[in-house]
Amino acid sequence: MTPSPLAQIVTVASYEIRKYIRGRRLLGMLILLGLIVGLFVGLPPALGIKYASTPDAFVSTFATFSGLLVVLGGVLFAADALVSEHEKRTGYFLFPNPVRREVLVLGKIAASLLVCTAVLSLYYGAAAIAALAITGSLTWDVGLSYVYTLGYMTAVVGVAYLLSALLKGTVAATVLTFFLFTLIFSIIGGILPRANVEPWFIPTSVGFVPDPAISLLVFAAYAIAGGVLAILLYRRRELAS
Amino acid sequence: MEAVVEQSITRDAPVHLEGLGKEYGHFTALKALDLTVAQGTSLGFLGPNGAGKSTTIKIMTNLIRPSRGRASLFGIDVRREPTRALARIGAVIETPEFYGYLSPVETLAYAGRLRGMSSKDLHNRSEAVLKEVKLTDWADHRIQEFSKGMKQRLAIAQSLLNEPDLLILDEPTSGLDPRGMAEVRDVIKSLKDQGRTIFMSSHLLGEVQEVCDDVALLNHGELLIRGSVRELSRGADTSLIQATFLLSATPQDLEALATLPGVEEVKASGDSTVDLRISGGEEGQARVLEAMIGRGLKVITYRPLGSSLEQLYLDRIQESDRL
What are the boundaries of each domain within chain A? Answer: 5-240
Specify whether B142 is located in the same domain as B276: no
Specify the pLDDT at position B319: 78
Specify the pLDDT at position B275: 87
Q: d(Cα A188, Cα A182) in Å, to the nearest integer?
A: 11
Estimate to the nearest angstrom the gap between the alpha carbon of B153 and the chain centroid: 18
Specify whether B227 is located in the same domain as B240: no
Taking only residues 94 to 123 of chain B, the set having a beta carbon closer than 8 angstroms to any beta carbon of chain A reads: 94-99, 101-102, 106-107, 110-111, 113-116
Using the Cβ of B86 and the Cβ atoms of chain A, whether some distance falls under 8 Å is answered with yes
* Strand ranges across the sheet with B76-77: B27-37, B15-24, B68-73, B76-77
Does residue B60 contact residue B15 with C-beta atoms inside 8 Å? yes
Length of chain B: 323
Kindly report the CATH number assigned to the domain that includes residue B39.
Answer: 3.40.50.300
Specify the pLDDT at position B264: 84
Q: Which residues pair with B89 in a beta bridge?
A: B166
Q: Which residues pair with B228 in a beta bridge?
A: B214
Using the Cβ of A235 and the Cβ atoms of chain B, whether some distance falls under 8 Å is answered with no
Specify whether B6 is located in the same domain as B76: yes
Q: Which residues pair with B242 in a beta bridge?
A: B275, B303
- For residue B99, the chain A residues in CB contact (below 8 A) are 15, 19, 90
- What is the bridge-based pairing of β-strands B89-92 and B166-170? parallel
Choose among B85, B116, B168: nearest Cβ to A3. B116
Specify the pLDDT at position B9: 59
Identify the domain boundary among B185, B212, B233.
B233
Specify whether B39 is located in the same domain as B150: yes
Q: d(Cα A135, Cα A52) in Å, to the nearest integer?
A: 8
Domain that holds residue B301: 236-322
Q: Which SS3 state, helix, strand or coil, does residue A28 take?
A: helix
Does residue B144 contact residue B101 with C-beta atoms inside 8 Å? yes
Q: What is the pTM of this model?
A: 0.86
Using the Cβ of B25 and the Cβ atoms of chain A, whether some distance falls under 8 Å is answered with no
Distances (CA, A) of A222 to A66, A219, A228: 18, 5, 10
Q: d(Cα B139, Cα A208) in Å, to the nearest integer?
A: 52
Using the Cβ of B148 and the Cβ atoms of chain A, whether some distance falls under 8 Å is answered with no
The residue type at B206: G
Q: d(Cα A165, Cα A82) in Å, to the nearest integer?
A: 6
Low-confidence ranges of chain A (pLDDT < 70): 206-210
Specify whether B160 is located in the same domain as B219: yes
For the CA atoms of B129, B135, B141, B147, what is the dihedral angle to 10 degrees? -120
Specify whether B272 is located in the same domain as B125: no
Between A and B, how many residue pairs show a Cβ–Cβ distance under 8 A? Answer: 87
Question: Three-state secondary structure along chain B?
Answer: CHHHHHHHHHHCCCEEEEEEEEEECCEEEEEEEEEEECCCCEEEEECCCCCCHHHHHHHHCCCCCCCEEEEEECCEECCCCHHHHHCCEEEECCCCCCCCCCCHHHHHHHHHHHCCCCHHHHHHHHHHHHHHCCCHHHCCCCHHHCCHHHHHHHHHHHHHCCCCCEEEEECCCCCCCHHHHHHHHHHHHHHHHCCCEEEEEECCHHHHHHHCCEEEEEECCEEEEEEEHHHHHHHCCEEEEEEEECCCCCHHHHHHHHCCCCEEEEEECCCCEEEEEEECHHHHHHHHHHHHHHCCCCEEEEEECCCHHHHHHHHHHHHHHHC
Sign of CA dihedral B103, B108, B112, B118: negative
Q: d(Cα A49, Cα A40) in Å, to the nearest integer?
A: 11
Q: d(Cα B47, Cα A105) in Å, to the nearest integer?
A: 35
What residue of A is the nearest CA neighbor of B159? A93
Enter the ipTM. 0.91
Taking only the tens place, the pLDDT of each residue in B24-35 is: 989 999 999 999
Specify whether B26 is located in the same domain as B130: yes
| Mean pLDDT rounded to a whole number for chain A | 92
Q: Which SS3 state, helix, strand or coil, does residue A203 take?
A: coil
Specify the pLDDT at position B234: 67
Low-confidence ranges of chain B (pLDDT < 70): 1-9, 234-237, 306-308, 323
Kindly report the CATH number assigned to the domain that includes residue B316.
Answer: 3.30.70.100
Helices (H), A78-201: 83-87, 91-94, 101-135, 140-166, 170-179, 185-191
Identify the domain boundary among B184, B201, B233.
B233
Specify the pLDDT at position A208: 47
The residue type at A101: R
Specify whether B45 is located in the same domain as B12: yes
The residue type at B288: V
Rounded (10°) angle between helices B119-132 and B148-160: 140
Specify whether B90 is located in the same domain as B23: yes
Specify the pLDDT at position B204: 80
Choose among B87, B97, B111: nearest Cβ to A2. B87
Q: A92–B94: do the CB atoms touch at under 8 Å?
A: yes
Specify whether B72 is located in the same domain as B199: yes
Percent of chain B having pLDDT more than 70?
94
Taking only the tens place, the pLDDT of each residue in A147-195 is: 999 999 999 999 999 999 999 999 999 999 999 999 999 999 889 989 9
Q: Which of B67, B88, B113 to mutate to test the interface with A (most CBs of A within 10 A)?
A: B113
What residue of A is the nearest CA neighbor of B80? A100
Number of domains in chain B: 2
Contact partners, residue A232, CB within 8 Å, separation at least 6:
none
Specify whether B158 is located in the same domain as B33: yes
Does residue B140 contact residue B106 with C-beta atoms inside 8 Å? no
Specify whether B21 is located in the same domain as B98: yes
Q: Which residues pair with B91 in a beta bridge?
A: B168
